[in-house]
Amino acid sequence: MRSHVKGLILSGVGMLVFSSGLRAQMGQQAGAAKAPAVSAPAPVHDLSGVWNMRATPAQRKFLGSTYTQEGPDMTAWSKAKYDSAKPSNGPRSNALKVTDDPVLRNCLPPGTPRIYLQPFPLQFVQTPKEVIILYEYDHTVRHIFIDGRPHPADVTPTYMGHSIGKWEGDTLVVDTTGFNDKTWLDRDGHQHSDQLHVVERFHRVDRDNMQVDVTMEDPKALAKPWITQLNFQLKPDWDIMELACTDNAAFEDFEK
């Protein structure tokens, strides 16, 4: 045992004493930063720009791996799969050599909406035909068709699904279906099937802040819809950069 253990124990006591006060302090600071005193009004029907997800103080302890503190109401089918999953993140965290997270193990596209839990920014690009979301994580792209088309009658299952959108007032409502069942709903190992249906409601609160209300439905995996709200902050000075999943493989040997 290392000789610094005693010091660590003392520091741990100190942490217990001070952390609650710090949490309160940090929460106040974060809350103040999240809602700037002055922000210009949101442009009309325009989500263009680079955005970064920002956890609310209440979300900080879980949003790195999942959407809600309590998790989804699972069916027996998905609960069994969840129980046997070996995630790398969250409370059941496993080492990289052990995890069977399809994103970390095989570099599969994260799926929708899990892509938001990959901790990197995203960019909206709009044309009359579609809203394009460029996610920094592993060059992932979604095309959200806003030209009035329906989902294809016999849609080909994909990782990110087939998305169509329409403006309802100042909210872009995006309906996504046509998923395969190769990915997880989150980084905790919660499961979905090819019957997953996701609705995202993108609402730009003002120029600098956007709320996204997400509803996940899956009759095979979820006993009732799983609902969450994600918050994003505009980053005018940021550019989307390269981030290749294949580089992760080198890190399996780093952990000892």
Partner 1 sequence: MNRRMASFALLVGIMTIASVAFAHHGTANYDTSKTVTVKGSVTDFQFINPHVLIVMDAKDEGGKIEKWQGELTSPNRLSRNGWTKSSIKLGDTITISGYPTKSGSTEIWIQKVVLASGEELPTGNGN
Give the footprint of partner 1 on residues 152-181 (CB under 8 A): none
| Smaller CB separation from partner 1, 178 or 189 | 189
d(Cα 62, Cα 174) in Å, to the nearest integer?
25
Options 89, 112, 123, 176; binder of partner 1; rule CB under 8 A: 89
Looking up tokens 């990289």, which residue turns up?
96
Residue type at position 75 = T
Options 93, 126, 193, 215; binder of partner 1; rule CB under 8 A: 93
Token pair for residue 232? 């994003």
96 binds partner 1 (CB under 8 A): yes
| Smaller CB separation from partner 1, 61 or 224 | 61
What number of CA atoms fall less than 13 Å from residue 256's CA on the CB side?
A: 1
- CB of 120 closer than 8 Å to CB of 137: yes
Question: Cβ contacts of residue 181 below 8 Å, gap of 6+?
Answer: 157, 192, 193, 194, 196
120 binds partner 1 (CB under 8 A): yes
205 binds partner 1 (CB under 8 A): no
Options 90, 194, 211, 215; binder of partner 1; rule CB under 8 A: 90
Stretch that binds partner 1, among 81-89, 107-115, 175-183, 194-202 (CB under 8 A): 81-89
Q: Three-state DSSP class for 165?
A: strand
How many residues line the site for partner 1 (CB under 8 A)? Answer: 53
Q: Go through the chain and tell me how many residues it has.
A: 256
140 binds partner 1 (CB under 8 A): no
Of residues 128, 205, 137, 142, the one with CA closest to residue 174: 142
Of residues 190, 13, 183, the one with CA closest to residue 91: 190
236 binds partner 1 (CB under 8 A): no
What is the binding site for partner 1 (CB under 8 A)? 2-4, 7-8, 11-15, 17-19, 22-23, 26, 52, 54-55, 60-65, 87-90, 93-96, 98-99, 104, 118-120, 136, 187, 238, 241-244, 247-248, 250-251, 254-256
